Amino acid sequence: MTPVPPELGPNPMAAPPPGGGKSYGAVIAVGAAAVAALCCIASVVAIALPSYSRFGARSKQSEVKSNLKAAYVAERSWFAEHEAWSTDVDAVGFSPVGGRYLYAFSVEGKRRPGGSTRTAGGPFTGVEAAPNHLPVFSNDELEDAVDEALWREVGLSGECPKCDLTVLGVGDLDGDPTVDVWTISTKERIIDGVTVPAGQPYNHVDDTRL
């Protein structure tokens, strides 16, 4: 009788079953596509994050524009009654909202603490930024960061009733070494060749771009 050879297991050198190579290739292709997609997402995020940060900072600038316009309206009301502008923030009823900016109606005098309304110890010629909105600068440092020539323009000029008042707002929006500087005036101004009407806030230093 012819002996029956023992049953052999699968040959490790045998060719893969039909279609097996294609399946393996498909897995590699899917993985490569996933990696490429993740790279694309990372690139989009890297581009979008700075833009989003600048958008957030610009939205904060609406605070200073609104408060400076409120200061102008309050001063106009005061002038209509007294034929003069006032640097006393409490007298004209100036109470800024938000607390991100320091406001100066004069280069002299005292500042009212940030986040407060009327307090003892006045008169006050300015309002400080609130402590929780001072990531880098103190209120004194915010003042010092304003260009000296611009700082000299703040406050009253001329003899009332033929006088004018310029109010300044300065704040730190993003914790970098640059501050955001705005003014509003009761007179028409020409700044860097641009005509700025009375009562229109002007951005001298844009902290969202620097």
* Residue 202 amino acid letter: Y
pLDDT given at position 53: 47
pLDDT given at position 209: 85
pLDDT given at position 51: 44
- pLDDT per position as a tens digit, 44-85: 434 444 444 444 567 889 999 999 999 999 999 999 999 999
pLDDT given at position 183: 98
- In degrees, to the nearest 5, what angle opens at C-alpha 182 toward C-alphas 176 and 183? 155
Exposure string (b/e) for 67-89, b if CB count within 10 Å is 16 or more? Answer: bbebbbebbeebbeeeeebbbbb
pLDDT given at position 208: 92
User: CA 157, CA 88: separation in Å to the nearest integer?
Assistant: 15
Domain locations in the chain as residue ranges: 60-205
- In degrees, to the nearest 5, what angle opens at C-alpha 29 toward C-alphas 23 and 30? 90
pLDDT given at position 120: 78
pTM: 0.74
E-only strand ranges, the chain: 101-104, 110-112, 124-127, 155-159, 162-171, 180-185, 189-191, 194-196, 202-205
With H, G, I as helix, E, B as strand and everything else as coil, classify residue 165.
strand
User: CA 20, CA 14: separation in Å to the nearest integer?
Assistant: 12
With H, G, I as helix, E, B as strand and everything else as coil, classify residue 159.
strand
Q: What is the block-wise mean pLDDT of the chain (210 residues), using blocks of 10 residues? A: 54 55 59 58 44 59 97 98 97 95 97 80 94 93 97 97 97 94 98 97 92
- In degrees, to the nearest 5, what angle opens at C-alpha 144 toward C-alphas 156 and 67? 55
User: CA 195, CA 168: separation in Å to the nearest integer?
Assistant: 18
pLDDT given at position 4: 54
pLDDT given at position 22: 53
